[in-house]
C-alpha cells in the first residue's frame, strides 16, 4: 500500500516541523515574553510588599496616636475630677459660711423675739392679775357679801399665781 509506504517520509517531515515550531515557540515565549511577564510579576510583588509595609507603618502610627489620645483623655478626666472636687469643696465652704451667717441672724432674731415674748407675757400677767384682782373683789362682794379692797384682792391673786 502506497499510503503506508510514504507514511515514514511524511511522519519524519511532520516531526521535524513540530520540533522547529516548538523550538520557535520556546525561544519566542521563553526568551522574549517570559522576562517581561516575570518583571511585571516582580514589580507587582514589590508593590504589594511596599503597600503592606506602608499599611503596617500606618497601623503602628495609628496605634501610637490612639495611645497618646487615651493618655490625654485620662489626664483630662483626672484634671476634671480635681476641678470638680475643688468646686465642691469651695461650694461646701461657701454654703457653710452662708449657713453660719443665717444661723447667727436667726439666733439674734430668736433672742429678740424671746425678749418681746417675755415682755408681752409679763404685761399679760400684770393685766391678768389686775383683771383677776378686780374679778376677785367683785366675786367676794357678790357671793360672800364682803367689802375687800382692791389692794388686798391683788395681793391674794399674786399669792395664788405664785403658787401655780
The pTM (predicted TM-score) of the whole model is 0.42
Give the three cell numbers for residue 91: 461650694
Kindly report, residue by residue over 44-61, the tens digit of the pLDDT: 999 999 999 999 999 999
Q: What confidence category does residue 128 fall into, taking pLDDT thresholds of 50, 70 and 90? A: confident
* 42 to 50, 53, 60, 156, 157: CA distances (angstroms): 12, 16, 27, 132, 129
The pLDDT of residue 112 is above 70 = yes
The pLDDT of residue 20 is above 70 = yes
Sketch the domain layout of the chain as residue ranges. Answer: 2-163
The pLDDT of residue 121 is above 80 = yes
Kindly report, residue by residue over 56-100, the tens digit of the pLDDT: 999 999 999 999 999 999 999 999 999 999 999 999 999 999 999
Amino acid at each position: 500500500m502506497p499510503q503506508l509506504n510514504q507514511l515514514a517520509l511524511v511522519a519524519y517531515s511532520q516531526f521535524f516541523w513540530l520540533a522547529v515550531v516548538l523550538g520557535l515557540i520556546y525561544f519566542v515565549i521563553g526568551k522574549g515574553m517570559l522576562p517581561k511577564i516575570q518583571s511585571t510579576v516582580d514589580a507587582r510583588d514589590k508593590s504589594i510588599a511596599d503597600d503592606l509595609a506602608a499599611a503596617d507603618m500606618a497601623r503602628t502610627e495609628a496605634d501610637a496616636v490612639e495611645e497618646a489620645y487615651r493618655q490625654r483623655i485620662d489626664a483630662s478626666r483626672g484634671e476634671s475630677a480635681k476641678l470638680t472636687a475643688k468646686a465642691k469643696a469651695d461650694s461646701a465652704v461657701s454654703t457653710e459660711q452662708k449657713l453660719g451667717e443665717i444661723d447667727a441672724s436667726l439666733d439674734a432674731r430668736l433672742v429678740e423675739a424671746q425678749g418681746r415674748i417675755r415682755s408681752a407675757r409679763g404685761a399679760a400677767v400684770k393685766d391678768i392679775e389686775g383683771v383677776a384682782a378686780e374679778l376677785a373683789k367683785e366675786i367676794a362682794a357678790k357671793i360672800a357679801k364682803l367689802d375687800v379692797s382692791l389692794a388686798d384682792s391683788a395681793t391674794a391673786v399674786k399669792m395664788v399665781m405664785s403658787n401655780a
